[in-house]
Protein backbone atom coordinates (compact mmCIF):
# COMPACT_ATOMS: atom_id res chain seq x y z
CA UNK A 1 0.00 0.00 0.00
CA UNK A 2 2.79 2.40 0.95
CA UNK A 3 4.46 1.74 -2.40
CA UNK A 4 1.27 2.48 -4.33
CA UNK A 5 0.75 5.82 -2.57
CA UNK A 6 4.22 7.11 -3.43
CA UNK A 7 4.20 5.71 -6.95
CA UNK A 8 1.19 7.83 -8.03
CA UNK A 9 2.99 11.20 -7.75
CA UNK A 10 6.06 9.57 -9.25
CA UNK A 11 4.08 8.34 -12.25
CA UNK A 12 2.52 11.80 -12.63
CA UNK A 13 6.00 13.37 -12.61
CA UNK A 14 7.20 10.93 -15.28
CA UNK A 15 4.16 11.64 -17.47
CA UNK A 16 4.66 15.40 -17.03
CA UNK A 17 8.35 15.12 -17.92
CA UNK A 18 7.51 13.15 -21.07
CA UNK A 19 4.83 15.63 -22.10
CA UNK A 20 7.14 18.59 -21.48
CA UNK A 21 9.86 16.87 -23.47
CA UNK A 22 7.59 16.48 -26.49
CA UNK A 23 6.00 19.89 -26.27
CA UNK A 24 8.87 22.12 -25.32
CA UNK A 25 7.40 25.10 -27.19
CA UNK A 26 5.30 27.51 -25.16
CA UNK A 27 1.78 27.88 -26.59
CA UNK A 28 1.09 31.11 -28.53
CA UNK A 29 -0.04 34.12 -26.50
CA UNK A 30 -3.88 33.96 -26.48
CA UNK A 31 -5.46 36.31 -29.04
CA UNK A 32 -7.36 38.24 -26.36
CA UNK A 33 -4.05 39.03 -24.62
CA UNK A 34 -2.42 40.61 -27.69
CA UNK A 35 -1.77 44.35 -27.59
CA UNK A 36 -2.93 46.66 -30.37
CA UNK A 37 0.21 46.28 -32.49
CA UNK A 38 0.25 42.49 -32.14
CA UNK A 39 -3.46 42.33 -33.03
CA UNK A 40 -2.83 44.39 -36.16
CA UNK A 41 0.02 42.00 -37.02
CA UNK A 42 -2.41 39.10 -36.58
CA UNK A 43 -4.68 40.62 -39.23
CA UNK A 44 -1.75 41.30 -41.57
CA UNK A 45 -0.88 37.61 -41.19
CA UNK A 46 -4.45 36.46 -41.86
CA UNK A 47 -4.67 38.49 -45.06
CA UNK A 48 -1.19 37.81 -46.47
CA UNK A 49 0.24 34.60 -45.05
CA UNK A 50 -2.53 32.39 -43.67
CA UNK A 51 -3.44 30.83 -47.02
CA UNK A 52 -0.01 29.12 -47.03
CA UNK A 53 1.05 29.06 -43.36
CA UNK A 54 -0.58 27.99 -40.09
CA UNK A 55 0.20 30.34 -37.22
CA UNK A 56 -1.55 28.81 -34.21
CA UNK A 57 -1.28 25.09 -35.02
CA UNK A 58 1.55 22.91 -36.29
CA UNK A 59 -0.17 21.70 -39.46
CA UNK A 60 1.86 22.45 -42.61
CA UNK A 61 -0.08 24.03 -45.46
CA UNK A 62 1.65 25.00 -48.71
CA UNK A 63 4.46 26.37 -46.54
CA UNK A 64 5.67 25.26 -43.08
CA UNK A 65 3.71 26.17 -39.94
CA UNK A 66 5.03 29.30 -38.25
CA UNK A 67 3.89 28.14 -34.80
CA UNK A 68 6.72 28.96 -32.37
CA UNK A 69 8.85 30.29 -35.23
CA UNK A 70 11.00 32.48 -32.97
CA UNK A 71 11.12 29.89 -30.18
CA UNK A 72 13.08 27.60 -32.45
CA UNK A 73 16.65 28.50 -33.22
CA UNK A 74 16.36 27.81 -36.94
CA UNK A 75 13.85 28.32 -39.72
CA UNK A 76 12.89 25.27 -41.80
CA UNK A 77 15.59 26.26 -44.32
CA UNK A 78 18.23 26.09 -41.59
CA UNK A 79 18.73 29.88 -41.50
CA UNK A 80 18.69 31.58 -38.09
CA UNK A 81 15.20 32.62 -36.93
CA UNK A 82 15.80 36.38 -36.84
CA UNK A 83 13.72 39.43 -37.79
CA UNK A 84 16.20 40.23 -40.59
CA UNK A 85 15.92 36.80 -42.13
CA UNK A 86 12.11 36.57 -41.89
CA UNK A 87 11.72 40.09 -43.26
CA UNK A 88 13.99 39.20 -46.21
CA UNK A 89 11.89 36.06 -46.85
CA UNK A 90 8.71 38.15 -46.93
CA UNK A 91 10.23 40.87 -49.14
CA UNK A 92 12.00 38.63 -51.64
CA UNK A 93 10.19 35.27 -51.36
CA UNK A 94 11.85 31.89 -51.25
CA UNK A 95 11.46 28.99 -53.74
CA UNK A 96 7.66 28.39 -53.88
CA UNK A 97 6.94 31.36 -51.62
CA UNK A 98 6.20 34.50 -53.67
CA UNK A 99 7.84 37.84 -52.84
CA UNK A 100 5.29 39.79 -50.79
CA UNK A 101 7.16 43.09 -50.48
CA UNK A 102 4.61 44.96 -52.57
CA UNK A 103 1.69 43.89 -50.34
CA UNK A 104 3.15 44.84 -46.97
CA UNK A 105 3.84 48.44 -45.85
CA UNK A 106 6.65 49.19 -43.37
CA UNK A 107 4.12 49.42 -40.54
CA UNK A 108 2.42 46.17 -41.56
CA UNK A 109 5.81 44.46 -41.70
CA UNK A 110 6.82 45.69 -38.22
CA UNK A 111 3.46 44.66 -36.72
CA UNK A 112 3.56 41.29 -38.49
CA UNK A 113 7.00 40.50 -37.02
CA UNK A 114 5.78 41.56 -33.57
CA UNK A 115 2.84 39.16 -33.97
CA UNK A 116 5.10 36.29 -35.07
CA UNK A 117 7.04 36.77 -31.82
CA UNK A 118 3.86 35.91 -29.85
CA UNK A 119 3.58 32.47 -31.50
C1 LIG B 1 1.61 31.34 -51.79
C2 LIG B 1 2.00 30.72 -50.55
C3 LIG B 1 2.78 31.52 -49.53
C4 LIG B 1 2.45 32.76 -48.98
C5 LIG B 1 1.29 33.65 -49.34
C6 LIG B 1 3.44 33.01 -47.95
N7 LIG B 1 4.35 31.98 -47.89
FE8 LIG B 1 5.91 31.82 -46.61
N9 LIG B 1 6.49 30.10 -47.49
C10 LIG B 1 5.79 29.45 -48.50
C11 LIG B 1 6.53 28.27 -48.89
C12 LIG B 1 6.12 27.26 -49.96
C13 LIG B 1 7.69 28.23 -48.07
C14 LIG B 1 8.84 27.20 -48.10
C15 LIG B 1 9.92 27.81 -48.99
C16 LIG B 1 11.13 26.90 -49.10
O17 LIG B 1 11.98 26.95 -48.19
O18 LIG B 1 11.20 26.14 -50.07
C19 LIG B 1 7.62 29.39 -47.20
C20 LIG B 1 8.57 29.69 -46.24
C21 LIG B 1 8.43 30.68 -45.29
C22 LIG B 1 9.30 30.89 -44.15
C23 LIG B 1 10.51 30.02 -43.79
C24 LIG B 1 11.74 30.55 -44.51
C25 LIG B 1 12.94 29.70 -44.23
O26 LIG B 1 14.06 30.27 -44.29
O27 LIG B 1 12.80 28.50 -43.96
C28 LIG B 1 8.83 31.96 -43.47
C29 LIG B 1 9.41 32.56 -42.19
C30 LIG B 1 7.65 32.43 -44.17
N31 LIG B 1 7.44 31.63 -45.27
C32 LIG B 1 6.89 33.50 -43.76
C33 LIG B 1 5.80 34.00 -44.48
C34 LIG B 1 5.06 35.17 -44.08
C35 LIG B 1 5.29 35.95 -42.80
C36 LIG B 1 4.11 35.36 -45.04
C37 LIG B 1 3.12 36.50 -45.14
C38 LIG B 1 3.68 37.84 -45.29
C39 LIG B 1 4.25 34.30 -46.03
N40 LIG B 1 5.29 33.50 -45.65
C41 LIG B 1 3.44 34.14 -47.16
C42 LIG B 1 4.62 29.85 -49.08
C43 LIG B 1 3.97 31.06 -48.84
Kindly state the percentage of the chain with pLDDT values over 70: 85
48 pLDDT more than 90:
yes
Helices marked H in 1-119? 2-22, 36-48, 83-92, 106-116
Domain ranges of the chain: 29-116
Task: Label residue 92 by pLDDT band (50, 70, 90).
Answer: very high
Phi, psi of 94 (to 5 degrees): -160, 120
Task: Label residue 119 by pLDDT band (50, 70, 90).
Answer: very high
pTM: 0.85
Task: Label residue 117 by pLDDT band (50, 70, 90).
Answer: very high
Cross-strand pairs, 74: 80
pLDDT of residue 103: 84
pLDDT of residue 101: 84
Query: Ligand 1, closest atom to CA 79?
Result: 26
pLDDT of residue 14: 63
Query: Ligand 1, closest atom to CA 86?
Result: 29
DSSP string, 85-98: HHHHHHHH-BTTBP
Decide which of 1.10.760.10, 3.40.50.2300, 3.40.630.10, 3.60.20.10 is the CATH code for 29-116.
1.10.760.10
Pocket mutation for ligand 1, best pick of 46, 53, 93 (most atoms within 8 Å of C-beta): 53
Q: How far is CA 68 from the centre of its chain?
A: 3
Kindly state the percentage of the chain with pLDDT values over 90: 76
- Residue located nearest, by CA, to atom 25 of ligand 1: 77
pLDDT of residue 4: 64
Those residues whose C-beta lies under 8 Å from the C-beta of residue 102, and which sit 6 or more positions away, are: none
- Residue located nearest, by CA, to atom 5 of ligand 1: 49
Residues whose beta carbon lies within 6 Å of some atom of ligand 1:
48-49, 51-53, 62-64, 75-77, 79, 86, 89-90, 94-98, 100, 104
Average pLDDT over residues 86-111: 94
pLDDT of residue 20: 54
Amino acid sequence: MAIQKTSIPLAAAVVAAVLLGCRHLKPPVPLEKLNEQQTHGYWVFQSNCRQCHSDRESKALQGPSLLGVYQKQYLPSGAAATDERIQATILHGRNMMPAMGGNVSDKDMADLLVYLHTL
